[in-house]
Structure 1
Amino acid sequence: MTTPTDFPSPTIIPVNGVTLEVFEAGQPSSKGPIVLCHGWPEHAFSWRHQIPALAAAGYHVIVPNQRGYGHSSCPGDVDAYDIKHLTGDLAALLDHFGYADAIFVGHDWGANVVWSMALLHPERVSKLIALSLPYQERGDIPWTEFIESLFGPDHYMVHFNRRPGVADAILDQNRLQFLRNLYRKDIPPAPPEPGMAMINLAQATSAPGAALLRDDELAVFDAAFASTGFTGSINWYRNLDRNWHHLADVDPVINHPALMIYGDRDVIPRAPNLKDIVPNVTEIGIDAGHWIQQERPDQTSMAILDWLADFDLSPRQG
């Protein structure tokens, strides 16, 4: 059983005009680096189960708290959290360690960053693994407008953009309750409630399903957001349309070897035509909800290692 006291100690590393809190395991080796990217509202600690498994398999495991999280920098400007900055941080992190490229693994928002690394810094990505969130192809209208057209103005991504500061304050005021209600598993299917889902969770005294985290694990997330608040992490969403513009002239096809891991009970559906835009992707499902690597840690680690076992992972040193 992995406990918070087993988690690696961090190093604060200056990159790309900010500092990142970075956790490491393993040593540089022929198998090379693997960078694990958390989602929202998560923390590097969400990879606690995979870190020892990947290190034991011979990888140099690098796990940053990305900007806006933990003890990493939390810039005040909203546009400091756009996809150019987020991917630039990871490219600079490789420079710090002297790696030309790495395997990138991302969950949720981290998956979006990893897909975007393949678009904006293709030479820095050897292979990529995404959990929960398949590649989102850029459409004809900005993403906030597109999401609103599908789900209405109360969708949390739309709300974050149209009503800045409102959700941040409510989540901050109800931090522990929000995180406890969000991190659930075995949630029975149900129609969505009226209103903004994240605010509903923050204000609810209980939530369906079973608790995903032990109290000592939940305390790690709670302490992190007690320190930062939620605004920096929510600002990632406030760059959806800016990111849409940034990607206007980028080749949308991702040719890297890719593994897409879905949670079979996640509310995020499978992408029906992922191979059309990621031709070298392998798609698998795990019997889990959204928090795949925390709900099914051993299955997740094995899926990653089994897929990687098919490749020669000798890195090019920068």
Structure 2
Amino acid sequence: MKSLTNPTDFPEPTLIAVNGVELEVFEAGRQNAGRPIVLCHGWPDLAFTWRHQVPALVAAGYHVIAPNQRGYGKSSRPAEVTAYDVEHLAGDLVALLDHYGYEDATFIGHDWGAMVVWSLTMLHPQRVNKVICLSLPYPVRGEMPWLEFMEAVLGSDYYFVHFDRQPGVADAVFDENPAQFLRNLYRKNEPPKEPQPGMAMIDLARAETPLGEPLMSDSDLAVYVSTFEKSGFTGGINWYRNLDRDWHLLADVDPIVHQPALILYGDRDAVAQAENLAKFVPNVEEIHFDSGHWIQQEKPEETNRAITQWLERHDTTQA
């Protein structure tokens, strides 16, 4: 498979001390200082997931800041599980803005990165001017803590629950063969399949034959494999282990996201789309792609066009 990018073209990282940790930060477009946009990856992902978006955002006039968040790459990986709750993850991003001298920024998040961006916007609304989230809609806070609810509805083998209730088990499976797990995970055009008993992520990691087509080139996948071979997967999995803690931490915040927001959905994504998004995010626009979960990698040109056109409209109205 031919690569759309050359991994060596991605910005060189800098280690920046923020909020009691160091973050590995990839930065581009400093000549556009004053127009910051922060890109937040999900699990098990990296800042490199935004390799197709960074040049387009720089060309659109943005100072692009893409961290490997805590637990990932060469960023700090604290031992305490509670060091990965949304208060810490949002605090890292606030401190990153402080480092660059920005009062606020536009934040883009995919997957777990979207969860962090939604939470950041509720915890520190004055630091966020616009919200763009891919795949994961606004996390409605129901009456039961999230992991408790998932266990009751989806069972103890559901991977969110399994990560928390059986700490270290999945981590060890993924760490045993990162290349196979990542190869099997990063796919597109997968055929529909019936739910199976057991822990789906562990089964995926152990599968000898992947489904669908490779999402990325061998050279791009190699960036992921070499990174996770060094870091392991526990730091990122610890984000999941804080979901009930996060539910409690968000108890007293204003649940309404008042900022202009854009959500990009892949209609073949297993992540459920929101039915009542405008109730909590009144200034939201939704765009749908014929895509799986890895929207910004599977549909890079369409993603870039949707984001830059939306930003252009909202920058004009806010000017």
Bin the TM-score by the shorter chain: over 0.9
The whole-number CA distance in structure 2 between the counterparts of 1:135 and 1:235 is 21
Question: CA offsets per residue over residues 44-75 of structure 1, 9 Å max, x none?
Answer: 00000000010011100000000000010000
TM-superposed deviation, 1:253: 1.1
1:236 alignment counterpart:
239
* Aligned counterparts of 1:289 and 1:121: Cα–Cα separation in 2: 31
Asked if 1:187 is matched to 2:190, the reply is: yes
- Aligned equivalents of 2:297 and 2:94: distance in 1? 26
Structure 2 match to 1:279: 282
AA aligned opposite 1:139 = G
Aligned to 2:94: 91
Deviation string 1:73-122 (CA, Å, 9 cap, x unpaired) is 00000000000000000000000000000000000000000001110010
Which residue of the other structure, out of 97, 103, 107, is the alignment partner of 1:104? 107
Q: Deviations over 1:254-276 (max 9, x none)?
A: 11100010001101122111001
Q: Residues 235 and 43 of structure 1: is their aligned pair in 2 closer, same or farther, counting only changes over 3 Å?
A: same
| Closer, same or farther: CA 45–151 of 1 in aligned 2, 3 Å | same
Of residues 242, 252, 257 in structure 2, which corresponds to 1:254?
Answer: 257
**1-structure distance, mates of 2:261, 2:272:** 18
Matched, 1:137 2:140: yes
CA contact (8 A) 2:34 2:102 kept: no
Compute the TM-score of the two structures, normalised by the length of structure 1: 0.97
Q: Does 1:119 align with 2:141?
A: no
1:194 aligned partner, one-letter code: P
Identity between Structure 1 and Structure 2 (%): 63
Question: After the TM superposition, which residues 1-318 of structure 1 pair with which residues of structure 2 at under 5 Å, given as runs?
Answer: 1-29=4-32, 32-312=35-315
> Matches of 1:314 and 1:110 in 2, distance apart?
26
8 Å contact from structure 1 (residues 101, 315) kept in 2 = no
- The answer on whether the counterparts of 1:263 and 1:292 sit within 8 Å (CA) in structure 2 is yes
Change (3 A) 1:203 1:148: same
| C-alpha displacement of 1:206 | 1.1
Q: Distance in 1 between matches of 2:164 and 2:46?
A: 22
Q: Structure 1 residues 314, 117: CA separation in 2 closer, same or farther (over 3 Å shift)?
A: farther
User: 5+ residue gaps in structure 1?
Assistant: none
Structure 2: distance between partners of 1:133 and 1:209: 22
Q: How far, CA to CA, are the matches of 2:45 and 2:165 in structure 1?
A: 23
Give the secondary structure class of the aligned counterpart of 1:178: helix
Residue 251 of structure 1: CA displacement? 1.4
SS of structure 2 residue aligned to 1:20: strand
| Alignment check: 8 A CA contact 2:33 2:63 kept | no
Residue-pair matches, total: 316
- Paired residue type of 2:295: I
Q: Are 1:102 and 1:315, in contact at CA under 8 Å, matched by a contact in 2? A: no
Q: Distance in 2 between matches of 1:3 and 1:118?
A: 33
| Structure 2 unpaired stretches of 5+ | none
Q: CA deviation at 1:315?
A: 9.9
Aligned partners of 1:270 and 1:248: how far apart in 2? 23
The alignment partner of 2:242 has SS state of helix
Question: What SS does the aligned partner of 1:312 have?
Answer: helix
SS of the counterpart of 1:74?
A: coil
Quote the offset at 1:312 in angstroms: 2.6
Query: For residues 24-44 of structure 1, what are the alpha-carbon distances to aligned partners after superposition, in whole Å with 9 as ceiling and x for unaligned?
Result: 111253760000000000000
CA contact (8 A) 2:37 2:63 kept: yes
Change in Cα spacing, 1:99 to 1:189, as seen in structure 2 (3 Å) is same
